[in-house]
Amino acid sequence: MKTMSGFEMRAQFYPLVTDLERLKEEAAEGVPYPFLAEEMLELSPKDYRQFCSALGQRYAFETDIPKEGYDTVYGAFHCSLVTTVSEKEAILLTRVAGQMFGAYLPDKTLLDLTGVPKKQVALESCHNQEIRIGHPDAVR
């Protein structure tokens, strides 16, 4: 994946919280890291709105996200880009040490997604206990 402008894209990752607005707030204070979108997961507009309002839930498609999403050699996150066909915005998801992290991407059109595999997904509940959302010490 390359950016259209030739610049390295960066995003501010944060452990997944309850909803998109809180993710934007919390991540705003963070350090932007480079990232690489390994796949694009497309939700219906209705499912995407529901996903954004309930990031703290676990979904079946999250089991496909790479088990270790941080590349220590290059200092970059390997992510899944969650979006809809019609929206410009997207959420980047990655997993580090078994914990899910997210970053808000206001304009996915800045990315060159040529060759990035796309998959249509639905919001199905996940009951995989290995997927933790939020801070590891959070009680759920």
Whole-number pLDDT of residue 2: 41
CA distance 91 to 50: 13
* Beta carbons of 11 and 35 less than 8 angstroms apart: yes
Per DSSP, the chain holds a count of helices (H) and strands (E) of 2, 11
Whole-number pLDDT of residue 7: 57
Block mean pLDDT (10 aa), the chain, length 140: 56 90 89 91 94 88 77 87 92 88 92 90 72 40
3 state DSSP class of 17: coil
Whole-number pLDDT of residue 140: 31
CA distance 34 to 77: 6
Residue 21 tokens, joined: 């607005």
What long-range pairs does 45-52 form, CB within 8 A, spacing at least 24? 45/84, 45/86, 45/87, 47/122, 47/123, 48/82, 48/83, 48/84, 48/87, 50/123, 51/82, 51/91, 51/123, 52/19, 52/20, 52/91
Whole-number pLDDT of residue 131: 46
Whole-number pLDDT of residue 3: 41
The model's pTM is 0.82
Whole-number pLDDT of residue 28: 86
CA distance 136 to 15: 9
